[in-house]
Amino acid sequence: MNLTGNSSHSLFFHFETCQPSFPAVFLLITAYAIVTLVGLLGNFCLIVIIGKQKESQNVTNILIANLSVSDILICVMCIPFTAAYTLMDYWVFGEAMCKMNNFVQSMSVTVSTFSLVLIAIERYQLIVNPRGWKPKIAHAFWGIVFIWMWPSVEERQGYTTTMLVCQYFFPLGFIFICYLKIFVCLQKRYGKVDNIKENENRLNESKRINAMLISIVVTFGACWLPLNVFNIMFDWNYEALISCHHNVIFILCHLVAMISTCVNPFFYGFLNKNFQKDLVILFHNFKCFESQELYENIALSTVNTDVSKVSMKLNNMPANI
């Protein structure tokens, strides 16, 4: 069972289902739409900005772009199909789409999670051990192998437990350790500065970085914890779940997990001052393009009007002239 919950909840028809009210469905659909739009827009802008920074391409930027691509896949493949399937309690998109959707969901979630791990490793190597080993992009895809390990329904519990360890506890623990060592390293480094003013500036910068690192760990843990708990309870002790509204509980847990696609661009891109400047330039260029297009349309319209006026004058001239 993958963490998106799509393949694991084919057993929903074994429960006594209760349809949620229309206001509840409307709120859930609205929330999913907002998360999808924000996730798509934020990650797309991040990819465009990284693509324009050809002179400053580095491993970190490539990893962030890889994270954005996987988050876009989550927005496109995980959110709409899982929401529709859970609310309708029936898969209406065909068998082929079901198989492809399960694979893409598992792949995108795994790539997104391990991209966060590689970003943590890259930052650790850059700050704590700059001369040491540096990870390659291909390592982000190692987690995909786990989606082929237990394909049968009989091994569902083992698959769920393994995915919980490999897609949640291991990445969370690894990211926590990397950022904890970065935190300690920055504290020691800034404590050695003799200049009071420079030390104060570096201390403020250290606080900002540490606050961001803590936010990354807390957000990752908070976003994915509810869905992982639900998946474990569903496969190991589903009697403990409320039989009537289990699908609503699942979709709320799933929605919280999908929020991670919205916050990742802010933590890994837009909080960076260089990215902020490039984002302003991007929107400025977009506005200039719109203004130029509007000006050209107005100018073309004016020319057409002038031509029409000249044509009318020529047509109204006496024939003997």
What does the alpha-carbon distance between residue 279 and residue 55 come to, in Å, rounded to a whole number?
Answer: 16
Q: What is the pTM of this model?
A: 0.69
Residue 169, pLDDT > 80, answer yes
Average pLDDT, stretch 188-207? 64
Let me know: does 179 contact 120? Beta carbons within 8 Å.
yes
Q: Is 202 helix (H, G, I), strand (E, B) or coil?
A: helix
DSSP secondary structure letters along 181-224: HHHHHHHHHHHT---HHHHHHHHHHHHHHHHHHHHHHHHHHHHH
- pLDDT, residue 300, reads 41
- pLDDT, residue 315, reads 44
- Span of 13-22, 59-68, 97-106, 210-219 with lowest mean pLDDT: 13-22
Residue with tokens 């929107």: 283
Token pair listed for 110: 């795994």
Choose among 176, 170, 161: nearest CA to 219: 176
Helices H, strands E: what count in the chain? Answer: 10, 0
- pLDDT, residue 35, reads 93
Distances (CA, A) of 294 to 75, 301, 307: 33, 10, 20
Residue 109, pLDDT > 90, answer no
What does the alpha-carbon distance between residue 54 and residue 69 come to, in Å, rounded to a whole number?
Answer: 18
- pLDDT, residue 33, reads 93
Question: What superfamily does domain 8-275 belong to in CATH?
Answer: Rhodopsin 7-helix transmembrane proteins (1.20.1070.10)
Q: How many residues does the chain have?
A: 321
The ranges assigned to domains in the chain are 8-275
What does the alpha-carbon distance between residue 152 and residue 254 come to, in Å, rounded to a whole number?
Answer: 23
Confidence of residue 37 (pLDDT cuts 50, 70, 90): very high
Average pLDDT, stretch 39-48? 89
Question: Cα torsion at 72, 78, 83, 85 (round to 10°)?
Answer: 150
Choose among 119, 108, 57, 92: nearest CA to 261: 108
- pLDDT, residue 108, reads 79
Residue 7, pLDDT > 50, answer no
